[in-house]
Amino acid sequence: MADSTTSTGSPGSRLLGLTTLVGLAGLLLFAFVFTEPDVRLHPTTGEEFGQFDAVRLLYLHVPMAVLTYVAFLTCAVASAGYLLKRGAWWDVTAHASAEVGTVCCGLVLVTGSIWGRPVWNTWWEWGDVRLMTTLVLFLLFTGYLALRRTPAEPQRQARRAAIVALVAVVDIPLVNRSVEWWENRTLHQQSTLAELKIEDLTLFTLMLGFVVFGLVFAWLMLHRFRVGWLEHAQAGHEVALAIAERHAEMETLDVDAAIGQTGGGK
């Protein structure tokens, strides 16, 4: 049991971590060695076009985008759970998923911007619905994490953070609507995944990306949850310790008073 209070690792999480590392090595091989760059020939002019090597970024970008939504949705559900049940488990889950989700969301924005430079010829496109919605989502959860880092009584902070998370999730469809109406356009391509327009090995690598980054996500969530749980236990332990010390102090005072009284009687 000593291990459970000094480390966030366990045999299960170490196995998960090892599997994730092997998966990442495999994904790197597929992304950079086995798959070809996206080069196509124009049917009439014969000129080369496509995403070229930038396509390899999508093996990271697309899974991260999906995981961002998974994380923030988990955060919203856990926040609602906390407001209903008031259990620390819900609060720690909400905090962990928001933190991991914000990292994923930041990576989506950065990789998307790097990918956009050669493919769209711009680092940033104002008016692209998905881009703007993702940015606002990132800013909303940056605020959430700032609230989490503000010193406050734990239950008060948990309650307020839960409300911020729920408002953020409700706000997102409105942001999406407003940005869509704002420009009514997107540079993002329509899903080629559903129509299986992308080639076999590329599709396989993308799917492998989903699995591997899903494992990375699970590993991060597991450890972040355990860190949060240890922090929660530590805070409770400190309170218990302070109460015990105060009791001991009171008992000493009582004994002193009793001795004083006896002494006075002599």
Partner 1 sequence: MGSRGVGQVRELFTDARLVATRDLRIEARSRVLLNQVAPFALLVLVLFGFALDADQRTLRTFAPGLFWVTVLLAALLAVQRSASIEHADDAHTGLRLSGMAAASVFLGKAAAVFVQLIVLEILLTVGIVVLYGSEVDDPALLALTAVAAAVGVATTGTLYGALASGLGARETLLPILLLPVLAPVLIGATRSFDDALGAAAVDGWAWLGLLAVFGLVATVLGALAHGAMIED
Taking the complex as a whole, how short is the minimal distance between the CB of residue 57 and partner 1, in angstroms?
A: 26
What's the closest the beta carbon of residue 118 comes to partner 1, in angstroms? 29
Q: Which of 37, 87, 118, 143 binds partner 1 (CB under 8 A)?
A: 143
Contact residue for partner 1 among 41, 84, 182, 185 (CB under 8 A): 182
Among 75, 78, 131, 140, binds partner 1 (CB under 8 A): 140
Q: Which of 119, 107, 109 is nearest to 54 (CA)?
A: 119
Q: Shortest Cβ distance from residue 76 to partner 1 (Å)? A: 13
Subset of residues 97 to 136 that bind partner 1, contact rule: CB under 8 A:
136
SS (H, E, C) the chain: CHHHHHCCCCHHHHHHHHHHHHHHHHHHHHHHHHCCCEEEECCCCCCEEEEEHHHHHHHHHHHHHHHHHHHHHHHHHHHHHHHHHCCHHHHHHHHHHHHHHHHHHHHHHHHHHHHHHHHCCCCCCCCEHHHHHHHHHHHHHHHHHHHHCCCCCHHHHHHHHHHHHHHHHHHHHHHHHHHHHHHCECCCCCCCCCCCCCCHHHHHHHHHHHHHHHHHHHHHHHHHHHHHHHHHHHHHHHHHHHHHHHHHHHHHHHHHHHHHHHHHHC
Nearer to partner 1, 133 or 202 (CB): 133
Footprint of partner 1 on residues 60-99 (CB under 8 A)? 83
Residue 102, token pair as written in the block: 């914000």
174 binds partner 1 (CB under 8 A): yes
Which one of 146, 242, 250, 257 is in contact with partner 1 (CB under 8 A)? Answer: 146
Q: Which residue number, 148 or 229, has a Cβ lying nearer to partner 1?
A: 148
Structure tokens at 39: 């080069």
Query: Residues near 86 by Cβ (< 8 Å), separated by ≥ 6?
Result: 155
Q: Which of 1, 3, 181, 265 binds partner 1 (CB under 8 A)?
A: 181
- Out of 16, 70, 147, 203, name the contact with partner 1 by CB under 8 A: 147
Query: 5 vs 155, which CB is nearer to partner 1?
Result: 155
Q: Any contact of residue 160 with partner 1 (CB under 8 A)?
A: yes
Q: Which residues of the chain form contacts with partner 1 (CB under 8 A)?
A: 83, 136, 139-140, 142-144, 146-147, 150-153, 156-157, 159-160, 162-164, 166-168, 170-171, 174-175, 177-179, 181-182
